[in-house]
Structure 1
């Protein structure tokens, strides 16, 4: 990637590219309608990473009061290995903190070691396991919590 990606709020014109990212990144992709609903939800925030008019990935966080959930991080396969997941996670954490969240949760496939390492480096601790939660393929979901978002606020805020 020769151009630094731009991080910005998702807009309606991003939906087709987000739906394509879903199909390329997940065996159980979210529908176009669900993605569209996220953009109009007062609870959800969606950010995209774009370079040269091409969507590279996106993050969706949901904030309800003082708790938040990292709903989704998607990085296109061709863009992986460039720390874009880190950029998206930090954008999500910044948004959670800005909206007053003090704790955050997420679920991740037990076999997604790269994501697990990233989450653990950012203060998420394993809190539980949902046996055979995912269907395509069958795999456990690991439940993580970060109950100290305020500690990470300065870490994830741009200088």
Structure 2
């Protein structure tokens, strides 16, 4: 039986300065050490390498993904889906969209860091072709957990 609350009319759009409040709210609900508004403000308004994409479910913001495109490499800065929208494959849809946009922009590889303990995220990344690269020791400042570096050819 289909649960109609799980059905999403998905759309994507570039984040703007007006989205900074929502970006901060998504961060706060998703990460132990959320990025401050200033980080988004600087990236969106001043970092020519940064792109942020919002995913909407039925015209309601559900999450975002940020990437820095430098030369032929795309680096995912963050990807997050609000808790009430999780388990609907929105993270997968968003990452696929960002991979496509990065490829269109000339990137040939994409990298990211993920907590070594974050099995759901690592499973998603592997599903989309990401491979394990290396370890960044004590990467996360809240608990000094290591980060696994993952990468994929686009």
- Flag whether TM exceeds 0.5 (same fold): yes
Q: Secondary structure at the match of 1:111?
A: coil
Asked whether the equivalents of residues 54 and 63 of structure 2 are also in contact (C-alpha less than 8 Å), the reply is yes
**Could you tell me how far 1:53 is from its partner in structure 2?**
5.0
Secondary structure in 2 matching 1:132:
coil
Matches of 1:104 and 1:12, distance apart in 2 = 25
Q: 1:129 aligns with which of 128, 135, 142?
A: 135
Consecutive unaligned residues in structure 2, runs of 5 or more: none
Q: Please say if residues 47 and 59 of structure 1, whose CA atoms lie closer than 8 Å, have aligned partners that are also in contact.
A: yes
Q: Could you say which residue in structure 2 is the equivalent of 1:11?
A: 16
* Counterpart Cα distance in 2 of 1:137 and 1:9: 32
Residue 3 of structure 1: how far off its partner (Å):
4.5
Residue aligned with 1:133, SS? coil
Question: Unaligned regions of 5+ residues in structure 1, if any?
Answer: 150-159
Which whole-Å CA distance do the structure 2 matches of 1:16 and 1:118 have between them? Answer: 27
1:91 shift after superposition: 1.4
Q: 2:88 is paired with a residue of what secondary structure?
A: coil
2: CA distance, partners of 1:127 / 1:52: 36
* In structure 2, C-alpha distance between the alignment counterparts of 1:71 and 1:20, rounded to whole Å: 16
Q: How many correspondences in the alignment?
A: 148
Give the alignment's TM-score, normalised by structure 1.
0.86
Q: Secondary structure at the match of 1:15?
A: helix
Indicate the RMSD between aligned Cα atoms, in angstroms: 1.5
Per-residue deviation, 1:50: 2.2
- 1:139 alignment partner, one of 131, 145, 148: 145
Q: Which residue of 1 aligns with 2:102?
A: 96
Q: By how many angstroms is 1:124 displaced?
A: 1.2
Do the aligned partners of 2:63 and 2:80 also contact (CA within 8 Å) in 1?
yes
Deviation string, structure 1 residues 30-60 (Cα, Å, up to 9, x no partner)? 1101111221221111110123553210001
CA distance in structure 2 between the partners assigned to 1:28 and 1:55 by the alignment: 21
Mapping of residues 3-152 of structure 1, within 5 Å: 3-40=8-45, 41-52=47-58, 54-146=60-152, 148-149=153-154
Cα offsets for 1:52-111 (capped at 9, x unmatched) = 553210001111111110111011111110001001101110111011011111100011
